[in-house]
Amino acid sequence: MSQPDFPKQFLTIFDDKPLLIQTLQRIRRHFTRGERLLIIPKELKALTKKYVGGENIAVEPVRRNTAPAICLAGMILRRKFGSGVMHVMPADHLIAPRNAFISALKYGQRLAEQGYLVTYGIRPDRPETGYGYIRLGRRMGMQGKNKSYEGAGFTEKPGMKRARHYVRSRRYLWNSGIFTFNIATILAEIKNYVPDVYHGVEKFIAQRRIRHFEQVPDISIDYGVMERSRQLCVVEGRFSWDDVGSWLALGRYFKKDGKMNVLVGDARGVQIEDTIMFSQDVPLRAYDVKGLIVIVSPHGVLVCKKDRAQDLKKLFK
């Protein structure tokens, strides 16, 4: 369903609204249009404007991962506002309730104003091999229901055995990919730890020559800065969060029938159990199946075992 020219943030599987629109609606009451900025790759500029024409958009001339994107946003915001705090969030996640999310951001803003690089972690409710994790250090403080900790390191997507250990230990949170930074602090940390990113983006903004951005390293903010910084702080989010990274998300979002099936669209079956069936514009029928994911759309057909859902990227290598 997610295609290179029509990625996940534009899909309307959940709430009949694109995830991008849901993200904007989540923050619109709290941040004015002038304060909001969408960082998008060049090839998605026209499509994004079609959906959110009135929003401020900055275009990455080439894709270079989250560190250059955040650096670009920080420099644009520094030029516009001089100083302040920036919240960074993906446009394609499910988050609820809104009030709990905004409450966490407000606490994160307070910490960022003190110079911390704030990331938001989610308490795992299951061993998940599709997410990265953050290890918690010393407890720092609390505001309302929001707790903060020193960050003690990141870990990449684990195997099932290690994921179970993380859940049992209660010292690990899911890495949500949401951040809050003082603009000056994050730009200084990028300049310190990944100077090629900082100077390349700086030259691109000054001269508007694509070659400067093309020469910027492809590196994530986690690997480039957050894993190295001594100013890392983790706010434990008291909101539900899902990056909708696999078809298993339908099982967490849509109601299951008595046999633990999730049927979305024109999908029906007989003697089916523990199966996810999603149909878009095409009738889908199944008989005597268990533990499968079956997706049918004008784009194609997908069939896989539920326990291999996280491995589907192998199909596209």
Domain boundary assignment for the chain: 8-242, 249-316
Mean pLDDT to the nearest integer, 177-192: 98
CB–CB of 52/18 below 8 Å? no
CB–CB of 105/180 below 8 Å? yes
Residue 236's CB: how many other CB atoms inside 10 A?
Answer: 20
DSSP string, 63-117: ---HHHHHHHHHHHHHHHHSS-EEEE--SS-EEE-HHHHHHHHHHHHHHHHTT-E
Partners of 181 in beta bridges: 86
pLDDT tens digits for range 230-277: 999 999 999 999 999 889 999 999 999 999 999 999 999 999 999 999
Residue 317 has pLDDT above 70, yes or no: no
CB–CB of 222/63 below 8 Å? no
Q: What's the mean per-residue pLDDT of the chain?
A: 95
pLDDT tens digits for range 205-215: 999 999 999 99
pTM tops 0.85: yes
Sign of CA pseudo-dihedral 216, 217, 222, 225 = negative
Residue 280 has pLDDT above 80, yes or no: yes
Partners of 177 in beta bridges: none
Mean pLDDT to the nearest integer, 279-295: 95
Q: What is d(CA 269, CA 213) in angstroms, rounded to the nearest whole number?
A: 51
Q: How confident is the model at residue 227 (pLDDT cuts 50, 70, 90)?
A: very high
Residue 182 has pLDDT above 90, yes or no: yes
| CATH architecture designation of domain 8-242 | Alpha-Beta Complex (3.90)
Work out the percent of the chain whose per-residue pLDDT is above 90. 88
Residue 123 has pLDDT above 90, yes or no: yes
* pLDDT number for residue 58: 96
Q: What is d(CA 64, CA 212) in angstroms, rounded to the nearest whole number?
A: 12
Residue 228 has pLDDT above 80, yes or no: yes
Mean pLDDT to the nearest integer, 28-42: 96
Mean pLDDT to the nearest integer, 82-91: 97
CB–CB of 92/240 below 8 Å? no
Q: Helix or strand or coil: residue 143?
A: strand
Question: Residue 122: CB partners within 8 Å, gap ≥ 6?
Answer: 173, 174, 176, 236, 237, 239, 241
Mean pLDDT to the nearest integer, 44-52: 96
B/e letters for 267-282, b = 16+ CB within 10 Å, e = fewer, are: bebeebeebbbbbbee
